[in-house]
Structure 1
Amino acid sequence: MAPVLTRDDPAADRYENRLLAILFLAFGFVFFDRQALAFLAPYMDDDFGLSNAQLGVLSGVLALTWALAGMCAGGLSDRLGRRKPILLAAVVLFSLFSSASGLMTGFLGLLAARALMGAAEGAVLPMAQALMVEASRESRRGLNMGLLQGSSAGLLGGIVAPVAVVWLADTFGWRTAFYVTIVPGLVIAAVIAKYVREHAPRARAAAGPVARVPVREVLRLRNVVICMLVAPCYLTWFVTMITFTPRYLTDEKGWGPGTMSAVMTCLGVAWVLWGFATPAVSDRIGRRASLIGFTALAACCPLAVVHVDDPVLLGALMILTYTGLGCFTLFMATIPAETVPRAALATALGVIMGVGELAGGFLGPLVAGRASDIWGLDAAMFIAAGGAALVVALSFGLRETAPAVLRRRGEVA
């Protein structure tokens, strides 16, 4: 269970806001790098001629190594009682490996670069969310974690990436677009080294000796089990959409790179909006109700990609229905943080993220890519919608954790 934190502490409030800004940029550039391949794939055809299945493999191998790294980093962090050194090393390494993608001349080399990048990036989210939850006021816990995980990825991965990456590829070539990704990562690493503390002011009262919690005890918690089941379904929805939507818009609908980039930017706008709005709403109406309602909307987004042929209308519908990234914060971070003991926080976050990336992020795009080569790219969109529909069903089994809702029910003081 997340610690009860002190209130009315101006110094703690300032650090909370500063940490949020730093981690917002750090995780945002993780997704900038992760998204770059999907936007650069059309430009790489002359050199690589990637099939849908190969594009799925490149997306899947990153998810595989991301998952393994997240699970290992979470457990290591809880054993050592340290977050900052692991986060710092991860940011430096993912910047280096992302840039290395531009050096590759064959599919296997690109595959290796993406695998190494995923191994570095996988440690970022468990470390960042564990640091953020310990620094956050109870009333802002969901909002902070949503801004960190959802809005940051939406702004930099969903809005900045399609514009910047496509412009760089058009102007300087796709290799240069990969090379420049090293710069923001190294700058952010320097900022983390200087300004991020191992223990936030609000966490100090809860810090000190804590009993280790075996992983098997964490896996017996109902909410953790359900979040582990939700994660692969939602990762299938997300990774399949970000991997195949750019190609769907250019190949199936015949739209040019500029139109594709503009429509994908609408996804980014929605990502930013719902990334903080969904968890903020959940602070008030509850995590369970928010996950059910917003995921039902998210299931409609890939269906709109298939059935709507007007770019303006499709962009508007994407903004209205691309609600899932706000839900990611709920099942990957906020609900587990409000369920498990502090000593097992990073472990729980890493396991949930790892299972999701393995089963959904890795296998999802492989299956979707193969299905698309056989039946067409419509298959990928229907697979994404099915993943979201399964999340709606699973979410009915969650136990509520939002403090404000539990107080209204009289379940907590």
Structure 2
Amino acid sequence: MNVNTYENRLLLILFVCFGFVFFDRLALSFLFPFVAADLNLNNSHLGMLSSVLALMWALSGMTLGHIADKKESKKYILVISVIAFTLCSALSGLVTTFVSLLIFRGLMGIAEGPVLPISQSLLAAASNPKRRGLNMGLVNASAPGLIGAIIAPPILIWLATDYGWRTAFYATLVPGLIIAALIMLFVRNKHVHESMAATHHLGGKGDIKALLKNRNILLCVLISCFYISWFITLISFTPTFLMQARGFAPDAMGGIMGSLGFAWMIWGFVISALSDRFGRKPMMILFTLIATACPMVLLYADADSMLPLVFLTYTGLGCFTLFMATIPAETVPASQVATALGLIMGVGELFGGFITPTVAGFMADAYGLDIVMWIASAGSLIAMVLALFLKETAPAKVGHLTATEALATTHG
């Protein structure tokens, strides 16, 4: 099989895999109005449920991502992770109390944590440099946008409305097991693309302290903290905000969430493709600034103008690929990519996914749901300021350098 054929096959499998991660992760956000009525939950509970998943996701991603870098094969870790998070998602339909739901969400976070760093390290190694940003953007942003935010809302809301929210959780079992089988059958054990070897020094495992001394990695960690605050706050609270604070019916809420997902999918590959040509840094700055306006659209736009404005301003998930995957993969040696990605994702999830939603939930109960939109907007604004200090890594902008020259340009 030629390189391009395998690259495309791997891209398709990882696209479906990571998209389904977000189908499961976001399911509770879409189903929460139904779950809350049955289990007598409030906004603080929603914040804590989002936070515990993010905490476990963060710790797992950092730990297992680093372990995966020490293994010649990452395939089996990925298969086990997919099976485990699928089972945890399906079993969420059995819960009868907040505590039991909290436990299952935490276990699901442990299982999902290593999926992104492992998937992106495999894809970075298998990708041609000219389309590395596009490939990573399709998996990191377009896949969860399409599967987790476009396909998931109508399916989950329909199942919850007609058959109950528990059935909606049970339904996640079959596709998850199919994805695990596809990875087992069609993904190679080892990945070292000849073009990856030409642009990265393939030596030295390094450690987290050494990675944090790298300017781009440190900035990406900080950007992750605030950008994940923007994302998790929006995705966790927007369904409830639209129904309770803005007075939208469930089907209207589902339509708006679908519009968010459509924007997520489109901007996910558009921004990454643009960054291949025009550079990672300018695209980060421009589209993060635009993303800052999205919470204000949800807060103030009328029903008629909300859908197009949401699409135009929900650009942040396209930027996620850049700071969470592409820039780190072009900054550190190939043998450290999963560790770097796990670190960036993990620390960002600890702050933006664990701390911020809990704070936002308590503040929403104290001051009203409007405040969560201001919290989200502040997160992306700070991320934009931090992006001003990144060093460019796009091959089209840094030129065709030797491995040593490339490392000297992109490190520190």
Using structure 1 for the length normalisation, give the TM-score: 0.95
Q: 1:26 matched to which residue of 2?
A: 17
Counterpart amino acid of residue 285 in structure 2: I
1:283 lines up with 2:287 in the alignment: no
- Contact map agreement 1:58 1:111 (CA 8 A) in 2: yes
Match of 1:173 among 148, 152, 164: 164
Q: 1:3 matched to which residue of 2?
A: none
Distance in 2 (CA, whole Å) between partners of 1:393 and 1:292 is 8
Q: How many Å apart are 1:23 and its aligned residue?
A: 0.2
Q: 2:321 matched to which residue of 1?
A: 329
Where 1:80 maps in the other structure, the secondary structure is coil
Q: How many Å apart are 1:50 and its aligned residue?
A: 1.4
Where 2:20 maps in the other structure, the secondary structure is helix
Distance in 1 (CA, whole Å) between partners of 2:351 and 2:279 is 27
Distance in 2 (CA, whole Å) between partners of 1:363 and 1:315 is 30
1:103 lines up with 2:104 in the alignment: no
Counterpart amino acid of residue 374 in structure 1: A
Q: 1:308 matched to which residue of 2?
A: 301
Counterpart amino acid of residue 282 in structure 1: S
Distance in 2 (CA, whole Å) between partners of 1:337 and 1:209 is 12
Distance in 2 (CA, whole Å) between partners of 1:236 and 1:350 is 17
- Contact map agreement 1:308 1:314 (CA 8 A) in 2: yes
Q: 2:64 matched to which residue of 1?
A: 73
Q: How many Å apart are 1:203 and its aligned residue?
A: 5.1
Distance in 2 (CA, whole Å) between partners of 1:308 and 1:195 is 46
The count of aligned residue pairs is: 403
Where 1:90 maps in the other structure, the secondary structure is helix
Q: CA RMSD in A?
A: 1.9
Q: 2:342 matched to which residue of 1?
A: 350
Q: For the structure 1 residues 280 and 83, does the alpha-carbon distance in structure 2 shift closer, same or farther, using more than 3 Å as the test?
A: same
- Residue by residue, what CA displacement relative to the aligned partner does 1:80-110 show, whole Å, maximum 9, x if unpaired? 2331111111000000000011000000000
- Residue by residue, what CA displacement relative to the aligned partner does 1:98-144 show, whole Å, maximum 9, x if unpaired? 00110000000000000000100011000100000000001000000
Q: 1:6 matched to which residue of 2?
A: none
Q: 1:128 matched to which residue of 2?
A: 119
Distance in 1 (CA, whole Å) between partners of 2:279 and 2:171 is 41
Distance in 1 (CA, whole Å) between partners of 2:366 and 2:352 is 20
1:53 lines up with 2:44 in the alignment: yes
Q: For the structure 1 residues 171 and 259, does the alpha-carbon distance in structure 2 shift closer, same or farther, using more than 3 Å as the test?
A: same
1:396 lines up with 2:362 in the alignment: no
Distance in 2 (CA, whole Å) between partners of 1:15 and 1:408 is 25
Distance in 2 (CA, whole Å) between partners of 1:131 and 1:76 is 14
Match of 1:240 among 225, 233, 236: 233
- Residue by residue, what CA displacement relative to the aligned partner does 1:215-240 show, whole Å, maximum 9, x if unpaired? 32211100000000000100000000
Distance in 1 (CA, whole Å) between partners of 2:202 and 2:378 is 45
Q: 1:210 matched to which residue of 2?
A: 203
Q: How many Å apart are 1:209 and its aligned residue?
A: 7.8
Q: 1:369 matched to which residue of 2?
A: 361
Counterpart amino acid of residue 295 in structure 1: T
1:265 lines up with 2:255 in the alignment: no
- Contact map agreement 2:243 2:250 (CA 8 A) in 1: yes
Distance in 1 (CA, whole Å) between partners of 2:147 and 2:248 is 23
Q: For the structure 1 residues 47 and 67, does the alpha-carbon distance in structure 2 shift closer, same or farther, using more than 3 Å as the test?
A: same
- Contact map agreement 2:202 2:335 (CA 8 A) in 1: no
Counterpart amino acid of residue 212 in structure 1: K
Distance in 1 (CA, whole Å) between partners of 2:326 and 2:67 is 21
- Residue by residue, what CA displacement relative to the aligned partner does 1:258-317 show, whole Å, maximum 9, x if unpaired? 00001110001101100100111111111110000000010000011111122x311111
- Contact map agreement 2:216 2:391 (CA 8 A) in 1: yes
- Contact map agreement 2:129 2:195 (CA 8 A) in 1: no
- Contact map agreement 2:19 2:146 (CA 8 A) in 1: yes
Distance in 2 (CA, whole Å) between partners of 1:204 and 1:303 is 43
- Contact map agreement 2:46 2:361 (CA 8 A) in 1: yes
Q: Which region of structure 1 is more displaced relative to structure 2, 35-44 or 197-206? A: 197-206
Where 1:399 maps in the other structure, the secondary structure is coil
Match of 1:90 among 71, 81, 90: 81
Counterpart amino acid of residue 312 in structure 2: L
Distance in 2 (CA, whole Å) between partners of 1:72 and 1:264 is 32
The percentage of aligned residue pairs carrying the same residue is 50
Q: How many Å apart are 1:408 and its aligned residue?
A: 8.9
Q: For the structure 1 residues 381 and 291, does the alpha-carbon distance in structure 2 shift closer, same or farther, using more than 3 Å as the test?
A: same
Q: 1:7 matched to which residue of 2?
A: none
Counterpart amino acid of residue 32 in structure 2: A
Counterpart amino acid of residue 78 in structure 1: D
Distance in 1 (CA, whole Å) between partners of 2:207 and 2:34 is 48
Counterpart amino acid of residue 367 in structure 1: V
Using structure 2 for the length normalisation, give the TM-score: 0.95
Q: For the structure 1 residues 260 and 135, does the alpha-carbon distance in structure 2 shift closer, same or farther, using more than 3 Å as the test?
A: same
1:186 lines up with 2:202 in the alignment: no
Q: For the structure 1 residues 408 and 205, does the alpha-carbon distance in structure 2 shift closer, same or farther, using more than 3 Å as the test?
A: closer
- Contact map agreement 2:126 2:192 (CA 8 A) in 1: yes
Counterpart amino acid of residue 342 in structure 1: A
Q: For the structure 1 residues 209 and 339, does the alpha-carbon distance in structure 2 shift closer, same or farther, using more than 3 Å as the test?
A: closer
Q: For the structure 1 residues 180 and 68, does the alpha-carbon distance in structure 2 shift closer, same or farther, using more than 3 Å as the test?
A: same
Distance in 2 (CA, whole Å) between partners of 1:330 and 1:205 is 17
Where 1:224 maps in the other structure, the secondary structure is helix
- Contact map agreement 1:12 1:201 (CA 8 A) in 2: no
Distance in 1 (CA, whole Å) between partners of 2:358 and 2:274 is 34
